């Protein structure tokens, strides 16, 4: 299982548009991807409700995990996505 930690760069956190873009990217990978705040239970990264309920705010760290072929590449792409201010784009 591959794991990455990333700091949320979107000014509104992982809410609304940034969450939708993240969920879309996680879903398109075809892998089992989870996201969690450190020390909290992970949620399915392909669930918009789960991701938004996580309540990840700007500047907070989240931990991504994925399992399967291409997990490292998928997580690298998701980290790159969350490292950008998606609201400013």
pLDDT for position 86 = 86
Q: How many residues does the chain have?
A: 89
pLDDT of the residue at 88: 79
Per-residue pLDDT tens over the stretch 14-59: 998 999 999 999 999 999 999 999 999 999 999 999 999 999 999 9
pLDDT at 87: 80
Can you give the pTM of this predicted structure? Answer: 0.94
Q: In angstroms, what CA-CA distances link 28 with 6, 46, 61? A: 20, 9, 23
Backbone angles phi, psi at 79, to 5 degrees: -65, -45
Residue 89 has pLDDT above 80, yes or no: no
Annotated active-site residue 15? The verdict is yes
10, 15, 33, 66: which is the annotated catalytic residue? 15
Domains of the chain in sequence order:
2-82 (3.30.1340.10)
């Amino acid at each position: 299982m591959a794991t990455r930690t990333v700091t949320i760069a979107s000014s509104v956190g992982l809410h609304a548009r940034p969450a939708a873009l993240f969920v879309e990217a996680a879903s398109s990978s075809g892998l089992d991807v989870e996201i969690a705040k450190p020390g909290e239970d992970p949620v399915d990264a392909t669930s918009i409700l789960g991701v938004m309920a996580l309540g990840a705010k700007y500047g907070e760290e989240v931990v991504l995990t994925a399992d399967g072929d291409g997990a490292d590449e998928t997580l690298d792409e998701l980290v790159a996505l969350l490292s950008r201010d998606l609201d400013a784009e």
